[in-house]
Structure 1
Amino acid sequence: MNKYKLENGINFYDKLMQSMDDESDDDEFLCKISGFPLNDKMVTLECNHKFNYEPLFKEICKQKFDFKSYEYHLLSKDEMLKIRKMKKDYFIKCPYCRNIQFSIIPYYEEYGFDKIFGVNSLDPLCYGYKKHFSNIYGSDDYEINMYGVVFKKGICNEVDDNFICKSKYVAFIPNTEFSYCTFHYKKAVRKYNKNEKNKKLEEKAKLKEEILMKRKKLFEEKNLERAEKGLPPLKNLPSLKKEKENVVIQSIEIQEYIPEVENEVILTCKGILKSRINKGKQCECKKIFKDGFCKRHFSNNNDKINLK
């Protein structure tokens, strides 16, 4: 294979392949329909292609109900055999590679979409599909559902040196004031994503430069201090310590641990034993009958009182 080299020994072919790899890495985190970053409601189909939920649902419904591309006479022989083998009356196609699968996409109530049999529901009663846009081309309320967004009447912001786009149906790039037609929308999305990525890289480079400047300043200060003390200068830049917030911690006296059993006050009979091995000790009976005595010692105590 020919190797093309530019100035300073740069290999053009290697740089080209590297840029292609970078783009493929970025594509892994982008919706295959809208071109925007994947969100927390992304759906991974059996072919491993990933989509954001809203554009995937709309694209499947558009292909299935508007373009009728799911009708059996439009399927290939292999697709027909696959459907007959599974013996199911529903399937969905990957909008990116057209792979047929028989597992449906999830249903998320927060999007406000209908439950549709064979798309996001297996309830046979959910056959209804409501179009959310007008079919009258050229009317003020006419809308085009594409790339997971809705195109309405407006002005395309695509402007070149010798070209001004005159398309009348456009959609806005999210978080911007720029709108583009169906022909220029995906190109504008790629440009927007690239600009956002470059902004993050610039912010990261700026932060790295600030840290380097701080380290150099600290390096000079340390060497000045060492020179005053007659010490040799440092050879390497010192690392910056992470700044910690000054938190005033109140000193708490830790008291001696006393088990709950030791703190528990146990009431026992206050009678004194007068016979056997425990003679002279307090009765340990916990069943108090009356006046702090167990039944046995209460009767003995009453007998003494009566004798007096």
Structure 2
Amino acid sequence: MKYIIEGDIDFYKELLDSSYENEIIDADNNCCMITNMPLQENFVKLQCGHLFNYGPLFKDLLNYKKKFNNMEQSKYKLKYNEIRCPYCRKIQNELLPYYDNLSYPKECGVNYLDPNKSNYILECINEKNQCKYEHVMFDDSGNVLFTQKCFKYGFTHSILKEKYNLNINYCYSHKQFIMKELKEKAKEKIKQDKEKIKQEKLKIKEDLIKAAMEKKNLEKEMKKNAVVKIDETKIAENAITCSEIVKSGQRKGLSCLTKVYKDCLCKRHYNITNKDINIS
């Protein structure tokens, strides 16, 4: 239905368009999008990504389903297992969780699904053709609060089978969700593999540097030992050669360096010295 106002403007179209202008919100926004108050414990994040405190969202959904849902056209009317985001009007087939510690009662179609009222949903859907996606809600400690199944028709998707080897029934909306999840996991794996390769290269580089340093230190130590050995050899050579100073000839003034015979003297200088002693 169109409602044309002055200037040939479709009022309902403009109203609908305006509701989506600010649909994308800052991921760091920590305020309830109904009250604009800070988020409290047990806040709710809908599939569209918008955040709400439990109380205001519960009241809004209850009011809408009790008063206005029946006024909608059949194709826009929410089913028992569906709720609509108050901010962007996106419909999701997962209800709010129910908390015993809060003062809000169980309301069918809001935070509770009465099997007696929702059997019609399952009349044409069996285990074979039902979407296999399950929404699991955890508490702050990581314990499972409840698991809620999807009540829509599910079927296999060629892209999931070919690209990710998944031959599981999913409805279209959950197929999109699974695709996004798998892509994020693939990106994370690539990131981890790159980091692993980077760390391995870094380790190889560190090992090469360490090996080079060890080789350098070893060569330094070997040179040091060689110098010490040379000094020891010289000392040993000096200790086993004649210490007498040559008094004539080309080596005049230098040590004799002939092999020691007795008393640090070669045989020649030993005999000369002993001869001089005997003469005196």
User: Normalising by the residue count of structure 2, what TM-score does the alignment of the two structures yield?
Assistant: 0.30
Instruction: Name whichever structure is richer in helix by fraction.
Output: 2
* TM-score, scaled to structure 1: 0.27
